[in-house]
Amino acid sequence: MKFPSMAEAAGRTLGDEEVAAATRVIRSGMLSSVWGTETRALEREVAATYGVRHAVACGSGTAALHLSVVAAAPDPGDEVITTPITDFGTVAPILAQNAVPVFADVDPSDGNLDPAAVAKLIGPRTRAIMAVHLFGAPARVDELRALADEHGLALIEDCAQAWLTELPGGRLAGTVGDVGTLSLQQWKHITCGDGGLTLTDDDELARRMRLFADKGWDRAAGRSHAGFGLNYRMTELQAAVARAQLAKLPGVVAARRRTAVHLLEALRDLPGVRLPRPEGHAWWLFPIVRPAGDARELAAHLAKAGIPARAGYLEEPLNRAPLWGRPIYGTSRYPLDGYVPNPCPEAERLVAETLLIIDWNENYTTEHADAVAREIAAWR
């Protein structure tokens, strides 16, 4: 049985609408968002989808996360608490702002930040908490919000894998933090190849992020630079394709939920697996925890049977990445002189032994889910 993949047309929702959108932009002669209309329209549409005052478009999910750290405004050497199980795009922006990533351990049931572990790491230099809604499962951001408020910290929600993930009570992930971030990279729910957005209700944070994404250029003031910034602008081509994709997003998430719940039902009585909780899940991937520690063996078996499964998600959790012993800028390790990342035993066990992930896709049918369930049940 062939499983459609996000790396091919059969596993994407790219069609005539996106072709028309890209054509419209090319024919207009205006490919830049500074003077075009598509990127501003995408921002309005995403802000409306999420019910927030501002969405700021940029070139990638990593750029969006960089803007979110800029909004949190750590001084050099300040600390940002985050998770060791995520894309490096969550952590790179902390370093880019000369801040220090502090890794907190995760909940072994879903790999999301454990608020109790975060609480223990809050200190005088902590400026922000960056949570990730891993694989589309809602992180415990209400508890993190309370911690952030108690200690005067910013809360950032990385929703790159969590388009339309719902929190308890039905609010969307990305609306509880001071800033939420989204990615439109090839492997996400919807895509324009690369692209990103930040979400916020705060006018001042939106202004700061918008300026940083455009070289600190206050366009209303002429050719005048109000602060440090980079060029993180989205192009009109990206935005036009993303707008066509955004219209398909509810269908994409609904389809993923339908088949994921089918697989959950099929696996419900199977011993030896810890299944994800379906509440609010956006099913970027379908994660399974094997408490016995045999995720690598099971993943190898499934892959051999043609199921798109992998163990661990990462080679090592980010607190164990090789880069921490190396220079960051030139020969300098500033601000990481003497830095040793925290051990995170739960994250390390998930990645090395217990976490199995199955690629998920809106174009799966219940037959795909049944095939996955059959192979898992047949092993051992």
Ligand X SMILES: *Cc1c(COP(=O)(O)O)cnc(C)c1O
Task: Using the rule CB under 6 A, give the single segment among 82-90, 229-237, 248-256, 257-265 that binds ligand X.
Answer: 82-90
Number of amino acids touching ligand X (CB under 6 A): 15
Contact between 160 and ligand X (CB under 6 A)? yes
* 13, 62, 97, 354: residue in contact with ligand X (rule CB under 6 A): 62
Contact between 355 and ligand X (CB under 6 A)? no
Contact between 242 and ligand X (CB under 6 A)? no
Return the CA Rg of the chain.
21
Contact between 185 and ligand X (CB under 6 A)? yes
Task: Using the rule CB under 6 A, give the single segment among 84-92, 268-276, 300-308, 359-367 that binds ligand X.
Answer: 84-92
Contact between 60 and ligand X (CB under 6 A)? yes
Please, what is the minimum distance in Å from the beta carbon of residue 338 to ligand X? 27
Residue 302, Cβ density class (10 Å: 0-12 exposed, 13-18 middle, ≥19 buried)? buried
- Residues near 257 by beta carbon (within 8 Å), at least 6 away in sequence: 278, 281, 282, 283
Closest CB to ligand X among residues 243, 262: 243
Site string for ligand X, 111-140 (x = CB under 6 A): ---------------------x--------
Residue 304 identity: K
Closest CB to ligand X among residues 83, 259: 83
* 38, 79, 105, 158: residue in contact with ligand X (rule CB under 6 A): 158
Closest CB to ligand X among residues 147, 192: 192
Contact between 86 and ligand X (CB under 6 A)? yes
Closest CB to ligand X among residues 192, 373: 192
What CA–CA distance (Å, rounded) separates 61 from 67?
Answer: 10
C-alpha pair distances (Å), 49 with each of 17, 90, 99: 19, 23, 32
Contact between 308 and ligand X (CB under 6 A)? no
Region for residue 111 given its phi and psi (left: phi exceeds 0; alpha: psi -120 to 50; beta: otherwise): left
DSSP character string of 270-308: -TT-BPPP-TT---SEEEEE-TTS-HHHHHHHHHHTT--
Please, what is the minimum distance in Å from the beta carbon of residue 60 to ligand X? 4
| Strand-strand pairing, 196-200 and 54-58 | antiparallel
Closest CB to ligand X among residues 132, 352: 132
Residue 35 backbone dihedrals phi, psi, to 5 degrees: -115, -10
> 103: helix, coil or strand?
strand
Please, what is the minimum distance in Å from the beta carbon of residue 317 to ligand X? 13
Residue of minimal CB distance from ligand X? 61
Task: Using the rule CB under 6 A, give the single segment among 60-68, 299-307, 327-335, 339-347 that binds ligand X.
Answer: 60-68
* 11, 36, 84, 89: residue in contact with ligand X (rule CB under 6 A): 89
* 39, 82, 90, 112: residue in contact with ligand X (rule CB under 6 A): 90
Q: What are the start-end ranges of the H helices in the chain?
A: 16-28, 38-50, 61-72, 92-96, 115-121, 141-151, 203-212, 236-267, 295-304, 345-349, 366-378
Contact between 183 and ligand X (CB under 6 A)? yes
* 61, 93, 180, 312: residue in contact with ligand X (rule CB under 6 A): 61
Please, what is the minimum distance in Å from the beta carbon of residue 86 to ligand X? 5
Q: Which two tokens stand for residue 296?
A: 């690598």
Contact between 200 and ligand X (CB under 6 A)? no
What CA–CA distance (Å, rounded) separates 144 from 153?
Answer: 10
DSSP character string of 156-215: EEE-TT-TT-B-TTSPBTTSSSSEEEEE-BTTSSS-SBS-EEEEES-HHHHHHHHHHTBT
Interface positions with ligand X (CB under 6 A): 60-62, 86-87, 89-90, 132, 158, 160-161, 183, 185, 194, 196
